[in-house]
Amino acid sequence: MTAIALPLPEEVQAARDGILAFADKEVLPRHQDNADFFEDSRALFDEDGRFSARLIELITEVRTASATAGFYAMCVPQALGGAGLGHLAYYAAWEGLFHKCGPKHWLMLYVLAHWAFGPSKLLEQVTEQAKQTFLPDLMNGQQSMCFGLSEPNAGSDASMITTKAVRDGDGWRISGRKIWTTNAPIADYCVVFARTDVGISAFMVPTASEGFEVQRIIKLFGHIGGDEAEIALDNVYVEPWQLVGTEGKGFAAALYGVSLGRIYNSARSVGYGRWALEMALDYSQTREAFGHPIADYQGVSFPLADAATDLHAAHLMGINSAMLLDAGLPAVKELSMTKAFSVQKGLAAVDRAIQTHGAMGFTNEMGLTEAWHSLRIVNVADGTNEILNRTIAQRLYKGDLDL
């Protein structure tokens, strides 16, 4: 049975089915084989909150196995050595992975190159020397990267960044602070945004560079460790070949990432929403109250019907935005709408699934609160919903009234 009138192109379906089969083979068994490890926060994180060596090993195993199987870089442009599948495949694969694996089998996050942590279209902007230096190990999954834009005093308004890149001979010396940088604690490279004489520019910086320091792991939602970090850059020297794109046009380089990020997070929202909805449908048919399965009560089933309707709409919006991007269109308004809507509806679906489970909904065992945490973050990360609304309104007032 299909709910979508236009089937996905064959190569997209094959890519999605292939990556889901890969998750069956390489992700789910790793979680099963290491079940005690994944349940034990003290084993997952070191004392300072970084991922433990064992966890990094498992992540690298998944990344490299996926690269070898041809999935990791399947959405990376062919010019960079990837399979060149576009945004639609990226959307379909991520949605499928989040839907299938849920929040507990989270090694799934490393099966497909995330635009900010692995190779992506963003790297089309780097110099030939940079490609030769770091592309091979990013493509084969041995190494990873991170995206350093936000700063303590510059979030939604990224134009407020104060990190500076000051000329030194042919190159620059970068000094400043970055915050919330995901994957920074384990990344080998960081795309650092800094002000040069001519405007905001982006540089590819090895995290092992002298003066580059991950200062603090940021812990979220009561976890004892995390993947977001605060970074200090103190006179970090970068050479001309490390510039990403054109000097002073750093935001243009960032835009490639932003589109992929919004596709990713829309897919994450719909995927988790579907995973949670299906759990709620199952549970409501077995849990009884007042002599009947709770599914018999419309107070239980109608909100689930609403959630399904919303997720269906979000899914269609995701597919549409991805297709617009694949057609070479910027889809600024549509993608903003898609991400804002998908996050709200995904979050609402997970919340409704928690309610359907009663007290069980709050247990670690169910994983529903983990999905809720994940989507609650997406309402801020990668452009808050207010900022997305601001973008949509700006487009409308400029006369972009096509809906």
Q: Is the Cβ of residue 112 or residue 279 nearer to ligand FAD in the bound state?
A: 112
Span of 16-24, 243-251, 277-285, 376-384 interacting with ligand FAD by CB under 6 A: 376-384
Region for residue 222 given its phi and psi (left: phi exceeds 0; alpha: psi -120 to 50; beta: otherwise): left
**Residue number with the shortest CB distance to ligand FAD?**
155
By the rule CB under 6 A, 390 interacts with ligand FAD: yes
Q: Please report how close the Cβ of residue 166 comes to ligand FAD at its closest, in angstroms.
A: 21
Binding mask 152-171 for ligand FAD (x = CB under 6 A): ---xx---------------
Single out the residue of 115, 180, 212, 283 in contact with ligand FAD (rule: CB under 6 A): 180
CA distances from 210 to 105, 195, 238, 293, 328 (A): 36, 20, 10, 63, 40
CA distances from 49 to 5, 18, 39, 299 (A): 47, 34, 16, 42
Q: Is the Cβ of residue 280 or residue 343 nearer to ligand FAD in the bound state?
A: 343
By the rule CB under 6 A, 191 interacts with ligand FAD: no
By the rule CB under 6 A, 372 interacts with ligand FAD: no
The token pair that represents 360 in the structure block: 């069980």
Q: What are the residues facing 244 on neighbouring strands?
A: 126, 202
Instruction: Let me know if 189 is exposed, middle or buried by CB neighbors in 10 A (0-12, 13-18, 19+).
Output: buried
Q: What are phi and psi of 195, to 5 degrees?
A: -85, 125
Instruction: Let me know if 167 is exposed, middle or buried by CB neighbors in 10 A (0-12, 13-18, 19+).
Output: exposed
Q: Is the Cβ of residue 26 or residue 230 nearer to ligand FAD in the bound state?
A: 230
Type and span of the H or E element at 205: strand 199-206
Nearest-angstrom CA–CA distance, 76 and 82 = 4
Q: Please report how close the Cβ of residue 8 comes to ligand FAD at its closest, in angstroms.
A: 29
By the rule CB under 6 A, 28 interacts with ligand FAD: no
Q: Please report how close the Cβ of residue 193 comes to ligand FAD at its closest, in angstroms.
A: 8
Single out the residue of 175, 384, 391, 395 in contact with ligand FAD (rule: CB under 6 A): 384
Nearest-angstrom CA–CA distance, 386 and 333 = 13
Q: Is the Cβ of residue 259 or residue 284 nearer to ligand FAD in the bound state?
A: 259
By the rule CB under 6 A, 381 interacts with ligand FAD: yes
Nearest-angstrom CA–CA distance, 76 and 118 = 9
Q: Is the Cβ of residue 339 or residue 357 nearer to ligand FAD in the bound state?
A: 339
The token pair that represents 351 in the structure block: 């919340």
Half-sphere exposure of 345 (CA within 13 A, CB side): 26
Q: Please report how close the Cβ of residue 100 comes to ligand FAD at its closest, in angstroms.
A: 23
Q: Please report how close the Cβ of residue 286 comes to ligand FAD at its closest, in angstroms.
A: 35
By the rule CB under 6 A, 391 interacts with ligand FAD: no
By the rule CB under 6 A, 181 interacts with ligand FAD: yes
Q: What residues make contact with ligand FAD under the rule CB under 6 A? A: 116, 146-150, 155-156, 180-182, 228, 377, 380-381, 384, 386-387, 390
